[in-house]
Amino acid sequence: LSHYNYSSTHHLHRSSLIITAMASTDSWTHEIESPVAAARLFRAGVMDWHTLAPKLAPHIVASAHPVEGEGGIGSVRQFNFTSAMPFSLMKERLEFIDADKCECKSTLIEGGGIGTAIETTTSHIKVEPAANGGSVVKVESTYKLLPGVEVNDEITKAKESVTAIFKAAEAYLVANPDAYN
């Protein structure tokens, strides 16, 4: 999203002959612990990431902006990347949101490997309160590779990218305790 490395793939335990013959759907999950409260981290690291990313990660995100909608279901936002990324942009559409439960689901609709390595990909993010007053970010990415696409270390890179996004948002929120309250 925005902050997902949508070119992520999953290590398949199938022969490359089968992978070449037909695409399969796979997924990966990742959890990130944070001392920041769930609602603040969700608002900053997910819902408003298009505003914060260019400020907090200008070496990766050149710019970002809403393309359609006002942030509700069906809204589309675009992230434009620097040469640090293997693709220049990605557009994602919000499929589901429950701001009270700090949960959303989005689909990559353009860029980020769509059409070159990936047929489809969706990301489900839920930021849950933790007992210590902080939170746990739970991410599940489901994707379908194009036929013939080989799997390398994209899952690890995707998890590192998601972690970096939420840690950048966390650092911003810790440094700015009045933000996103």
Write down the domain spans for the chain: 25-175
Taking alpha carbons only, the member of 81, 28, 58, 30 closest to residue 168 is 58
Residues 67-98 have pLDDT tens digits of: 999 989 999 999 999 998 888 999 999 999 99
Could you give the CA distance from residue 11 to residue 151 in angstroms, rounded to a whole number? 6
pLDDT tens digits, one per residue of 36-62: 999 999 999 999 999 999 999 999 899
Which pLDDT score, from 0 to 100, does residue 8 have? Answer: 31
At 155, the pLDDT band (50, 70, 90 cuts) reads confident
Q: Which fold has domain 25-175?
A: Alpha-D-Glucose-1,6-Bisphosphate; Chain A, domain 4 (3.30.530)
User: Which of 25, 19, 14, 34 is CA-nearest to residue 142?
Assistant: 25
- For the sheet with 89-98, list strands across it: 25-34, 135-145, 118-129, 103-111, 89-98, 76-81, 61-68
How far is Cα 34 from Cα 28, in angstroms, rounded to an integer?
Answer: 20
At CA 147, angle to CA 12 and CA 7, rounded to 5?
65
Are the CB atoms for 125 and 19 separated by under 8 Å? Answer: no
**pTM attached to this predicted model:** 0.83
